[in-house]
Structure 1
Amino acid sequence: MSCCRQDVPEHLRFNPYIEYGYRPPMRPVQCLASVFAVHNETVNIYTHVVALCLSLYLVICESPLWWYTDGIEFIKWCHIIATIIPWIGSIVYHTFMNVNGDRDTYNRLLKADLLGIWLAQYLGGMPMMSASLYNLSDTNQLAVKTIYWTACFCGLLKVIHEQNFIKVSRVYFFLPITIRILLVALRTTRYGGGDPAAIVYVVLADSSSIIGGIINAARWPERRFPGTCDFFCNSHNIMHLLVLLAMYWMHQVNVKDIVWLTAQMNFKNIQ
């Protein structure tokens, strides 16, 4: 099943240091069957399968979201959607990326994957942002949220129209992380809200994402050892593992902030 880099279409050769283990163009059924074979997308597929299973477990079985959500249903569902849906898009992308060797199909699958990242980055940031801004006036909250959703909309337009993944990724990763850094700074002042215990998880989540992005962009370690990381331990594999960790940390942030928000609203209603 596996073949060399020069034997696959050009759009599948995006990592010049991965020399072997590529899947040739396949029909959809063959792509699906290749999930049970070993190739250079195997780790990428299975890390996302593990992430999906873990997300479902955290959201359904080990989360207080179903009880501590009075008055903040929208925020709760932002977190649930952002925690589960992106993994499905990534699994589909990595499984079917070589279908028929067709570039247009590949680009559509890539955009579906990018849409999942958009959901994770922007919808996933709603609980943390809402909790951080809770102590501000309604006018200030509206101003910040307007800026935030404008950034969301611009990011979505990038997904739909941009052909250069590098440009898209800059908008995706650096803008949301910058917003979260500013919110963490706000939370250290008397004007910020949110569960104080959540801050450390924000730092862990964003550190994992940043390190994963740097490793993926640097193509390390396969750049240093070409051909030795074709199947396992290449930069994209490492990034996937770090993103899985980031998802877990952000889940902890959002659950803590959702519980904190619910408590604040209940206290306000009692008064």
Structure 2
Amino acid sequence: MTFLSGPRLLDWASSPPHLQFNKFVLTGYRPASSGSGCLRSLFYLHNELGNIYTHGSVLYHLFMCHRGGSPVYARLLALDMCGVCLVNTLGALPIIHCTLACRPWLRPAALVGYTLLSGLAGWRALTAPSTSARLRAFGWQAGARLLVFGARGMGLGAGAPGSLPCYLRMDALALLGGLVNVARLPERWGPGRFDYWGNSHQIMHLLSVGSILQLHAGVVPDLLWAARHACPKD
């Protein structure tokens, strides 16, 4: 990609207060821009460019410098958290469905229960005051998934052979990404060295992509298994 010349970028101290959430990223902040100015930032180098091109949170990272300020940023963050919650919810429902395929009395309760728990987790994430609090909010969903994985691992649930390791890698990658983002590594070790590339948020994005790929690798054979599997009759 050939980058265009952009506006004069800001340092951390000069950036708007609502964008000062990572004190170890020192430079490369975009100035407040119109909607078209935000779109133009797709084509010049700044410290959010890597985040825009490595994840599904495009709207949040692209328009977070909008001149509407903190109110616009809050709406974008809320939309982003809703997206994360939906991925965690919709991604887990087929896992629960397949794991409990031969337990028709338990499966509907588990699906409804996880959906309600996800709603609570989403609300907590939306109202969380910090990055670490948002990570803890989504931990409720992760804990519920671990119960499902444990049931499958102990033979209390069913599913395609080989899918469970994919699900375990899925959550391990997601957890690792969240911890890296909260810890602000590696930029904490070298403030200013990772302003544009290789900072914690970009690493989290890449790990999240890997997590989703592991979900896909596990769910596809699980659904195929469920479509042709005949449960034993009591």
Mark yes or no: TM-score above 0.5: yes
| Mapped pair 1:44 → 2:45 | no
Aligned residue for 2:197?
Answer: 232
CA contact (8 A) 1:9 1:101 kept: no
Match of 1:258 among 212, 223, 230: 223
1:111, 1:190 → 2: CA distance?
39
Match of 2:156 among 161, 184, 191: 191
SS in 2 for 1:139: coil
Match of 1:120 among 87, 91, 96: 87
Residues 65-89 of structure 1: per-residue CA shift (max 9 Å, x gap): xxxxxxxxxxxxxxxxxxxxxx2xx
Question: What percentage of residue pairs aligned between the two structures are identical?
Answer: 32
Cα deviation, residue 10, structure 1: 0.3
More RCO (CA 8 Å, sep 6+): 1
2:164, 2:184 → 1: CA distance?
30
2:136, 2:42 → 1: CA distance?
30
Between structures 1 and 2, the one with greater helix share: 1
Paired residue type of 2:86: L
1:97, 1:135 → 2: CA distance?
47
Residues 18-39 of structure 1: per-residue CA shift (max 9 Å, x gap): 1000001000000000011111
Cα deviation, residue 163, structure 1: 4.9
1:101, 1:24 → 2: CA distance?
12
CA contact (8 A) 2:89 2:118 kept: yes
Aligned residue for 2:111?
Answer: 145
Aligned residue for 1:157?
Answer: 123
Q: Which runs of 5+ in 2 are unaligned?
A: 1-6
Cα deviation, residue 198, structure 1: 0.4
Judged with a 3 Å threshold, the aligned counterparts in structure 2 of structure 1 residues 213 and 156 are, in CA distance, closer, same or farther, namely closer
Paired residue type of 1:196: P
CA contact (8 A) 1:201 1:252 kept: yes
2:215, 2:69 → 1: CA distance?
36
Aligned residue for 1:170?
Answer: 136
Aligned residue for 2:19?
Answer: 12
Cα deviation, residue 43, structure 1: 0.5
SS in 2 for 1:21: coil
RMSD (Å), alpha carbons: 1.6
CA contact (8 A) 2:81 2:122 kept: no
Match of 1:27 among 9, 23, 34: 34
Pick which of 24-33 and 204-213 moved more.
204-213
Q: Which runs of 5+ in 1 are unaligned?
A: 49-86
Cα deviation, residue 141, structure 1: 2.2
TM-score by length of 2: 0.90
CA contact (8 A) 1:3 1:24 kept: yes
Residues 179-234 of structure 1: per-residue CA shift (max 9 Å, x gap): 22211111123321111210111121111111111111111111110111100111
The size of the alignment, in residue pairs, is 223
CA contact (8 A) 2:99 2:148 kept: yes
